[in-house]
Amino acid sequence: MTHGEKAPLQPLEQRMRDEQRRYEFALKAGNLGVFDWNIQADELTFNPRLYEITGYTPTDLPQQLRYADWLALVHPDDYKNLPAQDEQPRMTGKEYHGPFKYRIRTRPGKYTWIEEERYSFVFDETRRVVHTIGIIKDIDGQVQGENRLREAFKRELALNHQLKQREEWYLFALQVGNLAVYDWYPQEDRTVFNTKLYELIGYEAGEFNPTFNQWLSLVHPDEQARFSERKHAYAPMASQPAVQVYRLQDRAGTYRWIEDQHMPIEWDADGRVTRVIGVIKNVDGEKRSADALSKLNKDLRESENRWAYALEGNGDGVYEWKISTRQFYFSPRAKEIMGIDLGPEQDFTRFIGHVHPDLRSEFKANFEQSLRPPYHPFIMEVQVLDIARDYRWIMFRAKVVEVDDDNNPQRMVGTVTDLSDHKVIQKELTIYEEMIKQNQSAILFTSMDGTIEFLNDTAVDLLGYKQHEIIEKDIARLLPEQSAEHLLQEHYRSQQEFITQSGGRLLTQVVTSLIRQDGDPMGFVLNILDLTERKRLEDEVTALTMTKLEIELEMQRKQTEMIILVQENEKESIARELHDGVGQLLSLAKLQLEGLCSVLTPEQQKQCKSVQELLQHVTTDIKSLTSDLMPLSIRNLGLESAITSLLERYQPIRGKQVTIQCKINLDSFEPEQSRSMHIYRIAQEGVNNAMKYAHATSLSVMLMKLKNSLHLMIEDNGKGFDVDDALSKQNSFGLKTMIERARLLNGKLLVSSTCHAGTTISLTIPLNAEVS
């Protein structure tokens, strides 16, 4: 044959040789996975076993499988273990490559370890591999086993280290001798005690080295069966000591509770324990205390019903918390006080959600602290959100009343007390207390027998004493006469000398009032005014007449008085002009429009009606402005009606829900007109500021006549302001005018405000003072 005739047979012969090699390779592979990789065509072929190893089926993978598809299954950290497709080496007689160990992702999504071997058997003209077959071996179990062996080796090293360390601790304990320590050799049934252990059982050192059974005979009969089990209960290579608590008889025959911690540290070749070390602690006192506490818990449970009944009768609510299940039980009265419904489960988490956010963390911290020994009582005042979305002030008290044998809390009981009314009273008392503290006069309160019980800061500064030096002392020690009978009267007003801490004498003006509670006398209040400076000034005035400063002050006072008088007259004039002039013109215009509407077309009548409504709004605004400028009700009906009328004008505010409370009690007393006008203007300015600038949604006005004074208080929940900053501004006419009016009334004006926390204005006017 010619060369041209033989050429067509070469690919066929080559294919036959390739198939022969694959057949031989498959026989060699046995139960392994086999792949056939045509590098030039980039085609991969798997045998069934390789599909089993990967967990895929032919339908799970692309129809024309490429080498890149296989690489996509390889774990990213193992790419370095495989040669890249474009880095196949030119073969120079070497046909075997491998093994390569790496992980592939199986169909369940997990990675498994495999080992790959490659055989290259077809090359091109440049000896570059163009055809490769390989075998895949599942070595995941082998790798996992190797990893477990390595971990076991690491654990063995760690245990050896622990044993060595514990041995060092044990030797140190024996040397120090402050712990009751023993060494037991089970195979020899021999024990070694340190001095502390001999002292614990009442023997001399070296006098008694018991066997296991001899030691067992000292154990209380009720614990002997459990104690004897330890002889065969040691776990191989235990890393934590075992603990036993039992009663042991000392040499005097007395049983005491001890805690025995022990662990094996040596074994023989057969795995039997050859050495055990232990530490014994005397816990007799703790155990007996725990038994007594258990009995106390039982007594508490028996009396719980009586306790709950007594508290419910007192108006408080009762609750119980089962700590292990974190479930609360609230009595009907407790639910009524809190105003919440926690559902049938009443779990702790749901209850905490009703506590005010600002107090929630503190509540949880204090509550959890009460659950730790020594179990102090839990007492805290908190705000609880009721079912109407309002916060109620409530006092919570609680105490752990039951613990388990390990002194862990099991049950807590407590009470809830409604503090809503108490908080209102407390707020009023705080305001009055602040007024007393800021009062320029020295205030001193004594019991009926003259014992000093309270004095304000002004009195402390005036007399020179510290609080602890004068409280609970007889007031007579402050008087030259050493007698206070003339001073402690129901109504007393006179000049009186007091002895200061330094021994000096202080001339004062004293006004004494008897304080009663529910009709019964409870003590005396002394208002003390220092006359020392006043006396000196009076002497100077007598000698030098009025000084320039006094003249300027008097001129300033008169100027202020004149300005306010002119303002009031001008307001009255403007109000009269608005009423008599503009008001009449508006009424005339309204009448003319009514007559004009009758001759207009329907469309024009509609426009005319709109103009009439606009005139009505203007007329209403003019009336309101006239009333603000000149409250005729003061002249006609008095101060109480004027303030009531003022507040009524703020009730129908469109688009804004405002709660206004008004409490006026003048006890049939009506101030003179000039005094009433000043009080009205101060109230008008405070109310207007709260509604116009502070955007308050709640406003409270109180005007009351006390024994010798009038008291006005305006309180809102608006956005508040910085009082000092407002007074420093040039345009704070309203606030400054209020202060000037209070001064003209010889009164005291206090303005307390905090940003975002509302404003309180308090005015106190003495009734025995003249109006400037």
- Every domain of the chain and the residues it spans: 20-138, 150-282, 289-418, 424-540, 546-630, 638-772
Token couple for 686 = 């405070």
Who's near 322: CB < 8 A, 6+ residues apart?
329, 410, 411
CATH superfamily of domain region 20-138 = PAS domain (3.30.450.20)
At which residue do the structure tokens 């003590």 appear? Answer: 523
Token couple for 664 = 């006026």
Query: For residue 310, what pLDDT band results from cuts at 50, 70 and 90?
Result: very low
Q: How many CB atoms lie within 10 A of CB 453?
A: 12
Q: What is the pLDDT of residue 247?
A: 92
Q: What is the pLDDT of residue 113?
A: 92
Out of 3.60.10.10, 3.50.50.60, 3.30.565.10, 3.40.50.2300, the CATH code matching 638-772 is 3.30.565.10
Stated as kind and residue range, the H or E segment containing 194 is: none
Find residue 765's DSSP bridge partners.
Answer: 710
Q: What is the pLDDT of residue 582?
A: 61
Who's near 460: CB < 8 A, 6+ residues apart?
466, 467
* % of the chain with per-residue pLDDT over 70: 73
Say how far residue 474 (Cα) sits from the centre of its chain. 46
| 765/771 Cα distance (integer angstroms) | 10
Of 429-438, 694-703, 753-762, the poorest mean pLDDT is in 429-438
The whole-number average pLDDT for the span 89-116 is: 78
Of 109-118, 195-204, 344-353, 403-412, the poorest mean pLDDT is in 344-353
Q: What is the pLDDT of residue 713?
A: 92
The whole-number average pLDDT for the span 338-346 is: 73
| Domain spanning 424-540, CATH architecture | 2-Layer Sandwich (3.30)
Sheet containing strand 698-705, strands side by side: 659-665, 698-705, 709-716, 759-766, 748-753
Stated as kind and residue range, the H or E segment containing 60 is: none
Query: For residue 744, what pLDDT band results from cuts at 50, 70 and 90?
Result: confident
- 34 with 25: CB under 8 angstroms? yes
- 720 with 712: CB under 8 angstroms? no
Say how far residue 625 (Cα) sits from the centre of its chain. 50
**DSSP labels, 726-740:** HHHSTT-HHHHHHHH
**Structure confidence by residue, pLDDT tens digits, 147-182:** 888 888 888 787 777 667 666 656 655 555 557 888
pLDDT at 344 over 70: no
Provide the 3-class DSSP secondary structure of residue 489: coil
* % of the chain with per-residue pLDDT over 90: 6
Query: For residue 714, what pLDDT band results from cuts at 50, 70 and 90?
Result: very high
Measured on CA atoms in the order 678, 680, 683, 685, is the torsion positive or negative?
negative
Q: What is the pLDDT of residue 6?
A: 41
Sheet containing strand 273-282, strands side by side: 190-193, 180-185, 273-282, 255-267, 242-249
Q: What is the pLDDT of residue 4?
A: 43
- 532 with 506: CB under 8 angstroms? yes
Q: What is the pLDDT of residue 269?
A: 79
Find the Cα–Cα–Cα–Cα dihedral 185, 191, 196, 199, rounded to 10°.
160
| 707/710 Cα distance (integer angstroms) | 8
Find residue 74's DSSP bridge partners.
Answer: 104
What single-letter DSSP state applies at residue 582? I
Token couple for 471 = 């409280």
Token couple for 253 = 């025959």
**Structure confidence by residue, pLDDT tens digits, 191-239:** 888 878 888 888 887 777 788 888 888 999 998 888 888 766 665 555 5
| 184/190 Cα distance (integer angstroms) | 6
Q: Which of 23-27, 193-197, 437-441 has the highest mean pLDDT?
A: 193-197
pLDDT at 439 over 80: no
- 420 with 440: CB under 8 angstroms? no
**Domain 289-418 identical in fold to domain 638-772:** no
pLDDT at 9 over 50: no
Q: What fold, for 289-418?
A: Beta-Lactamase (3.30.450)
Angle between helices 733-744 and 673-692 (to 10 degrees): 150
Q: What is the pLDDT of residue 21?
A: 63
**Structure confidence by residue, pLDDT tens digits, 606-658:** 777 777 677 766 766 666 665 555 565 566 677 888 888 878 877 665 456 78
Query: For residue 1, what pLDDT band results from cuts at 50, 70 and 90?
Result: very low
Query: For residue 487, what pLDDT band results from cuts at 50, 70 and 90?
Result: confident
| Domain spanning 150-282, CATH architecture | 2-Layer Sandwich (3.30)
Q: How many CB atoms lie within 10 A of CB 337?
A: 24
Q: What is the pLDDT of residue 87?
A: 46
pLDDT at 435 over 70: no
Query: For residue 561, what pLDDT band results from cuts at 50, 70 and 90?
Result: low
Q: What is the pLDDT of residue 362?
A: 92
Q: Please report, for the chain, how many H helices and E strands are present, in that order.
A: 24, 25
As a whole number of Å, the end-to-end CA separation of the chain is: 147
**Structure confidence by residue, pLDDT tens digits, 659-709:** 888 888 888 788 887 788 888 888 888 888 888 888 888 889 999 988 888
What single-letter DSSP state applies at residue 503? S
What single-letter DSSP state applies at residue 230? G
Higher per-residue confidence, 429 vs 507:
507
Query: For residue 89, what pLDDT band results from cuts at 50, 70 and 90?
Result: very low
| 372/360 Cα distance (integer angstroms) | 19
- 463 with 441: CB under 8 angstroms? no
